[in-house]
Amino acid sequence: MTVDLSVATQIDLSLRLTVGLILGGVIGFERELHRQPAGFRTHSLVALGAALFTVVSAFGFEGSMADPTRIAAQIVSGIGFIGAGTILQHRGHIRGLTTAASLWAVAAIGTAAGAGMYVVAIAGTVLILVVLSLLDWVENFTKRKLQLGKARYDVPDEPEDGLSEDLP
């Protein structure tokens, strides 16, 4: 059973969606500047979608069976599926882990915005930007000073028979 919401409430809920969209777009813009596969539009849509699911789950249903926390849990699961699609393994190297993590974090920002937690959503956005830009600079600076090579995550080659080594 759906709820009859006033126009003022629907405007407030639309503001929540807009905040989620804008904050996701800020993170996406940073990713776009670094030429990552998931950029401005992807991050904007993930945050908007999470905000929309949060708003609908919190305000769209009533009764004893309505449980808004179920939708939030499903946002986390669903974004894991999208994030997994951004992780690539090519010739023994893994790429896309930071992009997957940023999509996951942007979904949380959208969820916070959808719940009306604007200060938390903005603080989350700022902290994500710190991680993506400032910590990237710190990592590169440290690698130069310590003369470390580029980080590599080696993935072992598959056996020719296609079976894992731990299986009989």
Q: Range of 16's domain?
A: 7-62+74-146
Which residue would you say has higher pLDDT here, 57 or 64?
Answer: 57
Does some domain include residue 68? no
Does some domain include residue 1? no
pLDDT of residue 133: 86
pLDDT of residue 167: 45
Strand partners, 2: 61
CB 117 within 8 A of CB 55: no
CB 24 within 8 A of CB 106: yes
Does some domain include residue 151? no
Does some domain include residue 83? yes
Cα distance between residue 3 and residue 19, in whole Å = 23
Q: Does the reported pTM lie above 0.85?
A: no
Does some domain include residue 167? no
Cα distance between residue 87 and residue 83, in whole Å = 7
Instruction: Specify the number of domains making up the chain.
Output: 1
Does some domain include residue 162? no
Cα distance between residue 101 and residue 108, in whole Å = 11
Highest mean pLDDT: which range of 2-6, 30-34, 120-124: 120-124
Beta strands per DSSP E along the chain: 88-90, 93-95
Does some domain include residue 153? no
CB 60 within 8 A of CB 3: yes
Does some domain include residue 97? yes
For residue range 109-144, what is the model confidence (pLDDT) as tens digits?
Answer: 999 999 999 999 999 999 999 998 888 788 888 888
For residue range 84-118, what is the model confidence (pLDDT) as tens digits?
Answer: 888 876 666 777 888 889 999 999 999 999 999 99
